[in-house]
Structure 1
C-alpha cells in the first residue's frame, strides 16, 4: 500500500485521539478548517487494535463532500476509490469487499442501522462536520448511541467539527474526551462592502467578483443562497466585458449538478488559467476548492422551514450565522494568504447569530418519526438527543403518517406498509406514491415525479413567471415540452429516474411496452400527487383560489393556466399569508380521486340545530378532509340523534325557545324563593335547567324537531313534575301563588325579587288587617305595595301595623281629597274592607 504523505496540522492531535478512543467508546474532535481531519483521521485509525479489522463508516452531510473526501483518501493511499476507501451516496456506490473506510451520506447510515441495528462488522462511526446539525446526523447519532447501549458496547463513536461547541456533545456521549487541533490557516484580509438597499444580491456579487478578479490573484469562490442566484450571477458576468481579458472560466458548484460537473468545479486548472466558482453553502466545509485565494460572500443561505400549524415547508433566504461566515472566509486561506469580501457591514456582522439553528428544530419530522417507529421507538424521548425534536412538529408528522397508512390509527405502531416506505429511503410521501403507483401500472411516471419533487426545478425561468404545472416538468424530463430547460439537471434527473426504476424492478415489468412506456400520460400526474399529498388536494373556491383538504388556503399567481381547474393537487407552496402561493401542482380528475382515494372520503350524517329555521336539520355529507364533496338532506333521523340536536339547539338559542307562560315563570320563581331559605329544594334556575335538559325535558320532547313543536309543551306541568306531591303541597304553603285579603280578593304574589316577594293591593281591601302576612313558614314578611282606588302605588311597606299607626292618616288625607266618594275611615283597624267605593250596609 503506497502513500503520498504531506504533513497536516491534524497529525499532532492523532496520538491523543487514538488514546481517547482506545480508552473509551467515544471522543469529540475539534479541528479548525484546513487541519485535515476529514481525510487524515479515518486512515490514521484504520489499523488501531481495538478496531479488530472492522470497518470505519464516516458520515458526511453532503454527497459532494463524501465523494471528494473518499477520492482524496484513496489517492493518498495510492489506490482507486472502491478499494480500501469507498463511498456510498444516493444513487452511487463505489465500495467492495476490501473496503475498510466507507464514506456515506446520512440517509445511507440510517438504512444501514435499520437493516442491522448492531452494525456488525463496523467498529467506528465518525460524524464529520457535525456542527451543521442536519436532521439525519442527529438521528444517526441517537440511533448509534442506543445501539451501543443495548447491542454493541464495543462500538466507537467519533464526532468531528470545526466550529462545534464541544461540551454539550461530550455530555451526550457520556462525557467523552475532547481533543483539539489547531488548523493551518493563512492570513485572510476581510473587506466589508455592504450592498445598497436598491441593489439585488446577484448584482452585488457580480460587481464584487469583477473587482476581485481584477485586483487579486488566484481563483474566486463566491457563496450564493441558491441555484437561481448562481445562474443570474453567471449570466451577468458573461454579459459584461470586464472579464473578457485573460483565460477565466465560470463554474457552478451545488448539489444539483452531475458528479462530472462538480469535479470540474473542484479541479486544478492548467497554469495561466483562472476560475470563478459560484457555489451554494455546499462548499462551506469538507472541501478544498483548489486554487481559491478570494472569497466573495453574499452572507445569505437558503433554509427549509416547516410549519406544524400548516403542515407545509417553505424556503426562506436568511443571513448566515457567524460560524458559517467564518467557515466561508476560511476557504480563502487554505492554500495561502487570501481575501474575503463580505457584502454586509461590520455592524451587521456583530448582529449575526452565533450558530445556525439545528435542522431538527425547524424541519418536517415525518421521515424522522417513521424511522423511529421502524426502529421500535414509540416516543422520541426514549433516545438521547442534543436537541429534542419539538412536540408540535412530531404531532403533525404522526397525523400524516396515519393518513399514509404508515402508522396504525393510534399513531404509535408502524404498519407493514410503513416498513416498506422506510425501506425505500425516500420521504414517506414520495415512497407512498411509488408503492401506490406500481399496481396501477404508473410506476415509471411515479419515478419521474419522485426525482422531480426531490430536486431543484429543471425549468429555467427566463425573466417571466414559471409555469406551476408539474406536467410541464414531466414532459421536459423526457426531452419534450415548450419551456427552456436546465439541460444538465435534466440529464442527471433522467438518470436518477432510470436508476430508481431499476431499483423498483420497473424496467422488467410486464406493464412496460417495447419502447419503455407503461401507458401513463402526464395527465396521471394529479392522481400520483394525490397519493403523496392527500392533505393538499384542492377544490376551487374562487378564481385561482383553492381550499386544500388539510384546511389551508392556497392560490395561483395570475396568469397560471391551472387556475381554471376545479380540482388540483399541490406539491409545493410558499406557506405565506392566508392563501399560500402555489408553486407546483397538477390537475386532478374527481372521478379518479373518488375511485383511488375512496378510503380518504368520509361519509357522515350530520344532524344539527339550524338557527335560521329554528329546527333540527339532517344532512348527509361526503368530505375529503376539509373539502365538502357532496351534501344532501338526510331522510329519516334516528330519534336519539333528533333529540340530541334539539337539546343542543335549546342550549344554543336559550330557554326562550320554550313556551314560557306567566304561570310557569312564577312556579320557577316560587321554587327559587323556597330554595333561598332551604337548600334542600331543587335548583330550577335557567342555568341549572339548561345544564340538565336531557333529564327533565327529554322525555317530553321526543319526536319534536322545531320551535313550533316545542310550543305544544305545557311547561308549567313539566316543571311541577320535577317536585314530588308532598313538596308541591309544601310549596303551596310556604310560597303560595296568591294571598286572600280581608276584602275576599285573591291577590297574586310576585316572586321576581327573591329577597322581597310582594303583593300589590288596594289600601281599602286591607282595612281590619292588623299585621303584615308572612310566607316561607313565617320567616319572611310579604312586601305590600299599597294602591289607590286607581291602582296607583301610594306606599310600600313590610310592616302594616306601623303603617296604620304612623302613615295612614297622612295618606288618608291625600286620598280623601282625590277620591271623596270613597270610604276612608278614621280607624282602619275597625273598618270593613271593601272592593267597592263603600262597604255594603
Structure 2
C-alpha cells in the first residue's frame, strides 16, 4: 500500500477532505514544529481527513517514523477537537516523559505548558496543557473519576502492538464511554507491527463499518544482519560480551545491546569493567531497564558527548517507543523476560523466552535510524524461522487482578459487556475476582466496595495497595511502604552461586541501613545491590507520599498530619527498628492465598493455602518457620521455590484470618486401620491448623464413607470379623449350589 493512504474496510465511506488541517497547525506554533521532516508527515493528510470524518482510526507506522511526537501536535488545530485536550497513552514511564519533552522542545516551550505528562510519581501539567502523555493505568483512573472524559477530545493509544494489559483495559473502557456517553470522542490506535485489520474491525462504528486503516512506510536505512550464536556451553552474557568487543573494534557508532534482564546486564557490565578496548575507543557504558531511576534512564538515552561513543545494555524497553540517537550497531540476544501467570498456582513468574519475529525486526531496525547499520543476532540463521510471528498479548498471560479492579471501579460487573481484541481468560478473571473479594475490594456480587475504590486510586497492584492502606490503619505506614518497594521492584539481593535467601526481613534491615558485612552470616553467598537499595529507599518515600495525596482509607480521610507523623525520611532510619510481627501480618493480608504451612519432615517444604507446594533452600534463615507469608515464588510445578517471604506464627495466622477459618467434622476411611475415622478439623483453605479425633461422628457421613469405600474397592476392604467372614463363605457356598441362597 502507498504511504499515507487510507484503507477503509469494505463498505466504509471515504474520509472527508480536510484541506486546512496542516496549515492550521503550523500557523499557530513556532517554525520549530515543522523544522524536522519525519516520515510520518506523508501520512498526516490522510490521517487528519480520516479523523475529521470518523471517530475511530488505526495508524500503522514503523519505529522511527515519528508518530509518537508528530501526530499529537498535528491534531491541535483540528476543528473537531474544539480546544479539548489530547490524551496519549504510552506503555512506559520513560517513553512518556521522553515524548512529552521532545514535543515541548518542538514548540519551544517547557514541559507542562502545551505538552505535559502524568506518570507514576510525577505529574507535569497545567491549566494550559493541551496534550497529556500518560502511562496506561492512568486512563482507567480518569474513566473511573469521570466516565464521560469531559474536556478530552481524543485518546491516542501509542505502541499498541505491545498489547500491554493496561492498553487493552483502557481501549475497552474508552470504547464503552464512546458508545454510551461520548459519541464525539475520537480514538486513535497507533502501532508499529500489528494486525491492523483486526483492530480496525474492533473499532467499527455502529453500522458495523471498520475504522479506516492508515499506513506509513516510514524510513529506515539498510541494516546488515550477522549471526553469532553462543559457543557450546557459553552463557548469553559471555556471547554478548564477545560480540560487543568485536563490534567496538570493527564498526563505528553507538552500540545498543538487547538482553533479557537486569541480571544479564549486570554480568556483561562486570565482564567489560575496565576493558582496555572500551577505554581506547572512548566508549561509555549505560544500563537501561525499567527499575532504574529516571535520571539513570535519561542518561542512557541521551546522545554521547562529541568524539565519544556509547554502549547501552538494554531490555525490551528500548525496542520501539524510545529514540536512542547515534545507534549504528545492534546486538540482539533474541531473549526477553516476560511475566507468565499460572491460574492454578495463583502466581506470576518471569520466564526467559525467545522474542517474536516482530520484536527481532524492531530491534534490528534500531541500527538503521540515522545511517546504514549492523545487527548481530546471537543465534544462527536457521533460528529466524522458529520465531513466533508476534508476542502473545499480556491479557492472555498475566495476573488479571488489576484488570478486575479497574472494571469493578468503572462499574463493569461482567467483562463480556465490553469489546476486546482478546477477551480475558474466564478462569484467570474468576480467580482475580476471588482475590479482590478476599482483599475486601469487591463484594460477593463483584460490586466495588469503598475499600476497593481506595485501592484503585493507588497506582500499584491491588495487593500492594491493600498492604499500604492496612499499614496506615495500624500506624505502620513506613514499614508498609518499604515492604511494597521491596516487592514491587527487582530483588536487592542476587546469589553468586544460586538464588539468595528468601527472608524479606533481611532486606528490610538493608533498607533501614544495616551493613551487609554485619549480616553476612544470614546472607550466605548472596550479594547486595547497593544501588538498588538506594532506589528502593526513594521508592518507599514515593509510595508514602502517594498515599498521603490519595483519598485515604474507609471512614474519615486521613489528614496530612496524621500520615506524615508515620513517615521517617529516607536514610534516617536504623537497622532492626521494624516490627517483624507487623511485617508478617501486613504481608499475609496482601497475599492471603500464599500463607504457607511447613510440611512434616526434615526438608523445608511448605503447603500454601491454595494447595500449591513450595520449598526453601535448606540454609535459608526461614527454613524452620512453621508458617510463612510468601510474596514471590519461582520455578515450576509440582513444587515452586519460595523467593521472598516472612515468618508467621500460628497465632498470627489465626488472628489475621479469623473470619475465613473453617471448622468441620471430617469423616474418612482409614486404609491402614480398615475403619472409619472422624476428626474435628480447623482449616484455612488447604492448611490444617488443628485437628483431633471426634468421639461422635455424624451417622449419615459414616454411611456415605462406607458406601463410597464399597463402591471403590468392594466389600472385601471392610473389617470383617472371623465369624462374619466364615458366614460369608458358607453363604457363598450355598449360593453356588442354589441360586435362592
* TM-score where L is the length of structure 2: 0.86
Question: 1:535-567 CA deviation, whole Å, 9 max, x = no partner?
Answer: 111111132111111111101134222112121
**Pick from 636, 639, 652: which aligns with 1:576?**
636
Question: 1:601-653 CA deviation, whole Å, 9 max, x = no partner?
Answer: 2222334455555655432111111111111123545xxx3234234324423
Question: 1:800-841 CA deviation, whole Å, 9 max, x = no partner?
Answer: xxxxxxxxxxxxxxxxxxxxxxxxxxxxxxxxxxxxxxxxxx
Cα offset for 1:273? 0.8
Question: 1:504-547 CA deviation, whole Å, 9 max, x = no partner?
Answer: 23873379469667974245322211111111111111321111
Partner of residue 82, structure 1: 112
Partner of residue 526, structure 1: 584
Partner of residue 214, structure 2: 179
1:646 aligns with 2:699: no
Q: Is the 8 A contact 1:616 1:642 kept in 2?
A: no
Return closer, same or farther for 1:3/1:488 CA change in 2, 3 Å cut-off: farther
1:491 aligns with 2:491: no
1:509 aligns with 2:562: yes
Aligned pairs (5 A) from 1:225-240: 225-240=260-275
Cα offset for 1:269? 2.2
1:564 aligns with 2:598: no
Aligned pairs (5 A) from 1:520-669: 520-541=578-599, 542=601, 543-608=603-668, 610=670, 613=673, 616-637=676-697, 641-653=698-710
Which consecutive unaligned segments of at least 5 residues does structure 1 have? 660-704, 716-748, 760-841
Partner of residue 29, structure 1: 59
Question: 1:641-668 CA deviation, whole Å, 9 max, x = no partner?
Answer: 3234234324423699999xxxxxxxxx
Cα offset for 1:494? 1.8
1:91 aligns with 2:144: no
Return closer, same or farther for 1:619/1:19 CA change in 2, 3 Å cut-off: same
Return closer, same or farther for 1:389/1:237 CA change in 2, 3 Å cut-off: same
Q: Which has the larger radius of gyration?
A: 1
| Mapped partners of 2:580, 2:701: distance in 1 | 50
Q: State which drifts further: 26-35 or 392-401.
A: 392-401
| Mapped partners of 2:188, 2:711: distance in 1 | 69
| Mapped partners of 1:618, 1:213: distance in 2 | 74
**Pick from 265, 280, 288: which aligns with 1:245?**
280
| Mapped partners of 1:191, 1:449: distance in 2 | 45
| Mapped partners of 1:131, 1:508: distance in 2 | 45
1:58 aligns with 2:101: no
Cα offset for 1:572? 0.9
Q: State which drifts further: 471-480 or 540-549.
A: 471-480
| Mapped partners of 1:464, 1:316: distance in 2 | 17
Partner of residue 451, structure 1: 485
1:19 aligns with 2:53: no
Q: State which drifts further: 649-658 or 131-140.
A: 649-658
Q: Is the 8 A contact 1:565 1:587 kept in 2?
A: yes
**Pick from 14, 30, 49: which aligns with 1:2?**
30
| Mapped partners of 1:78, 1:120: distance in 2 | 28
Cα offset for 1:180? 0.9
| Mapped partners of 1:510, 1:157: distance in 2 | 40
Question: 1:131-159 CA deviation, whole Å, 9 max, x = no partner?
Answer: 00011101100000011000100000000
| Mapped partners of 2:645, 2:229: distance in 1 | 38
Matched position secondary structure for 2:153: strand
Aligned pairs (5 A) from 1:196-345: 196-345=231-380
Cα offset for 1:575? 4.2
1:414 aligns with 2:467: no
Cα offset for 1:346? 1.3
Cα offset for 1:354? 0.7
Return closer, same or farther for 1:751/1:245 CA change in 2, 3 Å cut-off: closer
**Pick from 369, 380, 391: which aligns with 2:415?**
380
Q: Is the 8 A contact 1:27 1:170 kept in 2?
A: yes
Return closer, same or farther for 1:514/1:428 CA change in 2, 3 Å cut-off: closer
| Mapped partners of 1:602, 1:331: distance in 2 | 58
Q: Is the 8 A contact 1:442 1:520 kept in 2?
A: no
* TM-score where L is the length of structure 1: 0.76
| Mapped partners of 1:20, 1:511: distance in 2 | 51
Return closer, same or farther for 1:236/1:147 CA change in 2, 3 Å cut-off: same
Which consecutive unaligned segments of at least 5 residues does structure 2 have? 1-28, 205-209, 517-522, 549-557
| Mapped partners of 1:187, 1:360: distance in 2 | 35
Q: Is the 8 A contact 2:120 2:459 kept in 1?
A: no
Return closer, same or farther for 1:219/1:510 CA change in 2, 3 Å cut-off: closer
Matched position secondary structure for 1:329: helix
| Mapped partners of 1:623, 1:644: distance in 2 | 19
Partner of residue 391, structure 2: 356
1:437 aligns with 2:471: yes
Partner of residue 735, structure 1: none
Return closer, same or farther for 1:244/1:619 CA change in 2, 3 Å cut-off: same
| Mapped partners of 2:372, 2:688: distance in 1 | 66
Q: Is the 8 A contact 1:3 1:78 kept in 2?
A: no
Q: Is the 8 A contact 2:478 2:566 kept in 1?
A: no
1:194 aligns with 2:229: yes
Return closer, same or farther for 1:554/1:481 CA change in 2, 3 Å cut-off: farther
Partner of residue 194, structure 2: 164
Return closer, same or farther for 1:751/1:440 CA change in 2, 3 Å cut-off: same
| Mapped partners of 1:8, 1:510: distance in 2 | 49
Partner of residue 137, structure 1: 167
- Give the superposed CA RMSD: 2.8
Question: 1:299-350 CA deviation, whole Å, 9 max, x = no partner?
Answer: 1000010111111111110111110011111111111111111111111011
Return closer, same or farther for 1:43/1:622 CA change in 2, 3 Å cut-off: same
| Mapped partners of 2:92, 2:78: distance in 1 | 27
Return closer, same or farther for 1:614/1:489 CA change in 2, 3 Å cut-off: closer
Q: State which drifts further: 288-297 or 240-249.
A: 240-249
Matched position secondary structure for 2:176: helix
Question: 1:280-314 CA deviation, whole Å, 9 max, x = no partner?
Answer: 00000111111111111111000010111111111
Partner of residue 38, structure 1: 68
Q: State which drifts further: 481-490 or 151-160.
A: 481-490
1:152 aligns with 2:182: yes
Q: Is the 8 A contact 1:74 1:81 kept in 2?
A: yes
